[in-house]
Structure 1
Amino acid sequence: MKNTCSCRKKGCGGCPLLALPYPEQLAKKQKDVENLLGKFGPVQPILGMEDPWHYRNKAVSTFCAGPGRSLQSGIYAQGTHRVIPVEECLLHNPALDEAIAAVRTAAAACRYEPFNEDRRTGLIRHVLVRHSRATGQILVCLVTAQTALPGSKAFVTKLRQLCPSVSTVVQNINPRHSSAVLGSAEKLLYGKGYIEDTLCGVKFRLSAASFYQVNPVQTERLYQTAIEAAGLDGSQSVLDAYCGVGTIGLASAAKAKSVLGVELNRSAVNCAIQNAKANGITNARFLCADATSAIQRMAQQGERMDVVFLDPPRAGSTPEFLQAVCQLAPERVVYISCNSETQRRDLEYLTARGWKASFIQPVDLFPHTEHVETVVLLTRS
């Protein structure tokens, strides 16, 4: 295993720990988690990667004008909207960089102009690419500032000649003056509009907008750790809060009596329902609702859940949600977090109300960055 690797993209900011040997990165993250969460219970040794390079299955590249009006693409310099051209990245699966290079060549052949944020001129803003570890399929999403994409058929033909692994191409229209990559409107240019990947033995459809963890190897370890912590034996009813496209809930369904997933994003809920059908999973259902409102209603109606999976965004959960968890009184709460600071805040709330953190497991989902995921098992003390 390589411990360090050099990168010439100065100012990128995407890999702040790149110069630190990987074992030292793990030691740093272990210490960080212990400092934040160690007061609640013993922290298990962090689960790192055997090969912490080229793990990302998704990339976004922003277009810009290069020397002689050539078409380039890359990543914003840290804290700015100045694009640093990127040909390859040490974190990307190489198939992503190959696809992005093919998009640049095909777009240049079609004479597409890069969007200029200041002047509000040009056509193409970004390209988002996804790669399936299970099938090798690649999804390409070309983000444009206008609805019209002249020569779209020629673009797709050239792209697929250069990169045959591209199985679907979509155009996303984003006319907004916003830092958000994707807009709300989309056109299918080629293929089905999604690719499929397999995680923990379950097939998932991935569209351009789907939330899906970017490190499939470590995500499987994360979810397997969470499911093992839940102690499922086929008799439990499970609530998967903030469920997204249903990854945790569907991965645990084979070991549960029933699964209820709750998610506010309608598109994600539709994907979760489709994923359940595609996998023949009949004991899982999904509700489009605010997680806090849903669990409060369940608690007020006296409903029973044996296990609650909790995987909130970086801002953490809400006091109202946590209060409802206490009213629901499941046997176990498995709290997955990408932000140990907000997780610490929420654990303070729960432990003050009779819960005990009996298992704390850090997982390195994002090598060479400051981020770390943690799985915490809470039981009644």
Structure 2
Amino acid sequence: MAQTRPNKRIPRRPAQPPRRITIESLNGDGLGVVREDGKELLVAGVLPGEEVIVRVEHEGQHRRSALLLKVTRPHADRVAPPCPRFPRCPGCPLLHLSYAAQCDFKTDQLRQALALYPELAGQAIAPLWQAPEPLGYRTTAKLALAKVQGKALVGLYQRGSHRVIDIGDCPQQHPLINRIAQALREEIEHQKLHVYNPISQRGLLRYLAVRVSPLHNRALVTLVGTERNLRDFTHLAKWLQKKVPEIIGVHLNINPSSGNVVFSNNNLRLLGVDSLFDQIGDVRLQLSPTSFFQVNHAQAARIYRQIADWAGLTEGKTALDLYGGVGGIALHLARRGGQVLGIEINPQACDNARAAASHNRLSNCRFINADAAEAAADLVTEGQVIDVAVVNPPRSGCDAAVLEALGQLRPAQLIYLSCHPHSLARDLHQLLAQGYTLDCLQPIDMFPQTPHVETLVRLRLQP
């Protein structure tokens, strides 16, 4: 018989006394920063210059985190956040900052990133495109699940932990997402479903993902589970659709991994349709359960139209769309004429793009399922002439090989859609060295109430 180890109770550190501090700045995650003793002290729910009372809750090697107890001297642009879960919920770090001040903060984030490179410092930045709806704009949600003392929670992980903060009736989400989340809470409790615990790594149901068409008020739901339990998941899917008839399809994504990645490549349909169709700008797109698409449809439509206007594609011209996703940019380009080639590494997204091209009757647009760097290198080898290139990379920016290939393809016009100022500045530094000049820097607020800023950049090749 194996010998059992005695349970050793880890003594708790005594709670630190409250402290009064003055916030120096906000970091890229929207957290307040104070630098002391060679470490950063991070506080959620504060603004620069505010005098606040906090309690340090975590002490790390390089930084501390503290809980906000009271604001004794508020910032002039502080507003009452329209959510009782702020600032515990990490979804909206700037919910307490006036919308105009949020826009200024985002423009400053871009300016500071550019200033790290001498040739980009001082570049003119166009006025930021404000979002038409600062609240209720999110049409896509990936939500963590938990069950505490029999109560189901649907929401986001608290910063630095596996504790789920229930989002309740979230002001950021489309109302249909909130209704589906509430239906799932009720069914988890009623059906006594086992929810996955990331600490013990046991349980069946892990995440809820919802994709909404605001135009048609319809939703596609994906349940992420640890195993192929068709009986329990199909039963749950039917009850969700019964409670929320706007659900037109429910899928199961089987993800047994212990990591934090939400989706695996193993996806199957439980009931209803395979994909959600929605009108984004001037085209109709097909959105599958796990394909990436922007959460803010109104801003995405404005971006796509601007890209098409800048490109000015006409008959006899060719455009290249790298990191093309489900085809939103490529299809807007193709509507103006010419030939368009889209490159996308995700096979499901590439299938969505092809289907959308067919639905929109755009025969001058084709899509290749391939890595952007490899596809661009092949075009160089083939001697392909590209008149306009568009890149829409992830937060990490373009691969170095992509930038190198673009320098060899030498399109007369290059349009870059960025979701991270620092990777954008790094890539612009390289593109300018390859002979391009900046024509326009257009920041866009795609994610109100968060520190994230998108930037649309137009570059021209020097003659």
TM-score, normalised to structure 2, is: 0.78
Q: CA deviation at 1:101?
A: 0.8
Task: Determine which of 260, 277, 290 is the counterpart of 2:341.
Answer: 260
2:329 equivalent to 1:329: no
Task: Determine which of 341, 366, 369 is the counterpart of 1:288.
Answer: 369
Partner of 1:217: 298
Higher RCO (CA < 8 A, seq sep 6+): 1
Q: CA deviation at 1:199?
A: 0.8
Q: Alpha carbons of 1:40 and 1:245: their partners in 2 closer, same or farther (altered >3 Å)?
A: farther
Q: Alpha carbons of 1:199 and 1:295: their partners in 2 closer, same or farther (altered >3 Å)?
A: same
Partner of 1:41: 123
Q: Matched residue of 2:376: which SS?
A: helix
Q: CA deviation at 1:120?
A: 2.6
Q: CA deviation at 1:211?
A: 0.8
Contact 1:76 1:83 survives alignment (8 Å): yes
**Alpha-carbon distance in 2 for matches of 1:319, 1:45:** 30
Contact 2:311 2:333 survives alignment (8 Å): no
Q: Matched residue of 2:459: which SS?
A: strand
290-299 vs 32-41, which moves further: 32-41
Task: Determine which of 407, 428, 437 is the counterpart of 1:347.
Answer: 428
Question: Structure 1 counterpart of 2:390, which letter?
Answer: F
2:244 equivalent to 1:163: yes
2:151 equivalent to 1:65: no
Q: What percentage of residue pairs aligned between the two structures are identical?
A: 33
Q: Matched residue of 1:39: which SS?
A: coil
Question: Structure 2 counterpart of 1:188, which letter?
Answer: R
Q: Alpha carbons of 1:184 and 1:326: their partners in 2 closer, same or farther (altered >3 Å)?
A: closer
Partner of 2:102: 25
Partner of 2:358: 277
Partner of 2:202: 121
**Alpha-carbon distance in 1 for matches of 2:368, 2:218:** 30
Q: CA deviation at 1:235?
A: 4.2
2:381 equivalent to 1:300: yes
**Alpha-carbon distance in 1 for matches of 2:322, 2:97:** 36
TM-score, normalised to structure 1, is: 0.94
2:88 equivalent to 1:7: no
Q: CA deviation at 1:180?
A: 0.9
Give deviations 1:264-295, integer Å, cap 9, x for gaps. Answer: 22222122111111221100011122211221
Q: CA deviation at 1:322?
A: 1.6
**Higher strand proportion (structure 1 or 2):** 2
Contact 2:288 2:348 survives alignment (8 Å): no
Q: Alpha carbons of 1:41 and 1:106: their partners in 2 closer, same or farther (altered >3 Å)?
A: same
Q: Matched residue of 1:316: which SS?
A: coil
Question: Structure 1 counterpart of 2:434, which letter?
Answer: R
Question: Structure 2 counterpart of 1:190, which letter?
Answer: L
Q: CA deviation at 1:31?
A: 2.2
Matches within 5 A, 1:223-242: 223-242=304-323
- Unmatched 5+ residue regions in structure 2? 1-78, 115-119
Task: Determine which of 365, 372, 376 is the counterpart of 2:453.
Answer: 372
Question: Structure 2 counterpart of 1:254, which letter?
Answer: R
Question: Structure 2 counterpart of 1:107, which letter?
Answer: I
**Alpha-carbon distance in 2 for matches of 1:188, 1:353:** 47
Q: CA deviation at 1:370?
A: 1.0
Partner of 1:195: 276
Task: Determine which of 173, 176, 179 is the counterpart of 1:92.
Answer: 173
**Alpha-carbon distance in 1 for matches of 2:127, 2:89:** 30
Give deviations 1:166-216, integer Å, cap 9, x for gaps. Answer: 111111111111101122222311101221111122111212101110110
| Paired residues, number | 379
Q: CA deviation at 1:151?
A: 4.0
Question: Structure 1 counterpart of 2:133, which letter?
Answer: D
- Unmatched 5+ residue regions in structure 1? none
Q: CA deviation at 1:261?
A: 0.5
Partner of 2:53: none
**Alpha-carbon distance in 2 for matches of 1:157, 1:248:** 36
Q: Alpha carbons of 1:46 and 1:191: their partners in 2 closer, same or farther (altered >3 Å)?
A: same
